[in-house]
Amino acid sequence: MHSAIESCLRPLGQVNRIGILGITPELVGMAWPKNTELLAFDHSELMIRDVWQPNPDVSCHVSLSNWQSLPLETHSLDCLIGDNSMGALPSLSEYKLVFAELLRVLKPSGKLCLRCFIAPEHSEPVDKVFKDVMAKRIKNFHVLKLKLAITLSKYPTYSVFVKDIHALFDITFPNRVELSKLTGWDLDVINTIDAYRGSETIYTFPTLDALKEVASPWFAIESISTPDYELGDRCPTLTFCPNKKPRLK
């Protein structure tokens, strides 16, 4: 994220106004230059109460608000960042409302830098994921969670009910103790999947082409940075720049 936003940081003496879509502590807590003003936006009172941790080194505010309608002046931010923010939206039609609003609040020279969870063009079958677990090719339980979620993402909506990720896990791996023994994953970590049980939340996992297409009236992808950690190819940080002739909301 640091290298993605570097080019839009302003010199000391001018203020960097950075918006964060969500309150991800790792983004708020980055080593920001002193001349930064961080403005975080999240629509969940509960998340703000339980997870919000202001960065003591810079000016920092959180606002209870929707990304579809931000409490900001037009062209007021130098940069907007987020960790899987688009993936937390339930449908591609919501993406359109959010992209239009992000374009409005960003300065024309601004950048939108988002880590995105991306589905592959050819989806991986669940049995392949199962075999990879059995062969100990998946090192981290959260990677398994994400892989299972992505198997459920389908053209043209790419929407995934969070409760279906839980159900798919339970059917595929009915014996958690055995799974824990085989993989070395702590049972407490495996049981974090239960946070998904019965959840009405919907996530989206579009392919890169689908994401490009839905953003295209407002933003173009300028660069893609792919991390080298496990499953990094599905979690690139994309830098979007505003289109010169955007379509209005």
Ligand X SMILES: C[S@@+](CC[C@H](N)C(=O)[O-])C[C@H]1O[C@@H](n2cnc3c(N)ncnc32)[C@H](O)[C@@H]1O
Sites of contact with ligand X (CB under 6 A): 21-22, 24, 41-44, 47, 66-68, 82-85, 88-89
User: Which residue, 78 or 101, is less far from ligand X as judged by CB?
Assistant: 101
Q: Which of 101, 72, 79 is nearest to 3 (CA)?
A: 79
From the CB of residue 211, how many other CB atoms can be counted at a distance below 10 Å?
24
User: Which residue, 99 or 180, is less far from ligand X as judged by CB?
Assistant: 99
User: Which residue, 91 or 109, is less far from ligand X as judged by CB?
Assistant: 91
| Minimum CB–partner distance for residue 115 and ligand X (Å) | 8
User: Which residue, 32 or 41, is less far from ligand X as judged by CB?
Assistant: 41
User: Which residue, 29 or 35, is less far from ligand X as judged by CB?
Assistant: 29
* 105 sits in which H/E element: helix 92-105
- Maximum Cα–Cα distance for the chain, whole Å? 59
| Minimum CB–partner distance for residue 112 and ligand X (Å) | 14
User: Which residue, 35 or 84, is less far from ligand X as judged by CB?
Assistant: 84
| Minimum CB–partner distance for residue 84 and ligand X (Å) | 3
| Minimum CB–partner distance for residue 46 and ligand X (Å) | 8
- Using DSSP, state whether 168 is helix, strand or coil: helix
Is 37 within 8 Å of 58 (Cβ atoms)? yes
Residue nearest to ligand X (CB): 22
168: its two tokens: 């798919």
DSSP letter for each residue of 24-62 = -HHHHTS---TTEEEEEEES-HHHHHHH----TTSEEEE
Q: Is the peptide bond before 217 cis (omega within 30 degrees of 0)?
A: no
92: its two tokens: 């591609």
| Minimum CB–partner distance for residue 80 and ligand X (Å) | 12
Cα–Cα distance, 42 to 113 (Å, whole number): 17
| Minimum CB–partner distance for residue 19 and ligand X (Å) | 11
| Minimum CB–partner distance for residue 160 and ligand X (Å) | 13
User: Which residue, 82 or 110, is less far from ligand X as judged by CB?
Assistant: 82
Cα–Cα distance, 222 to 201 (Å, whole number): 31
Cα–Cα distance, 168 to 174 (Å, whole number): 10
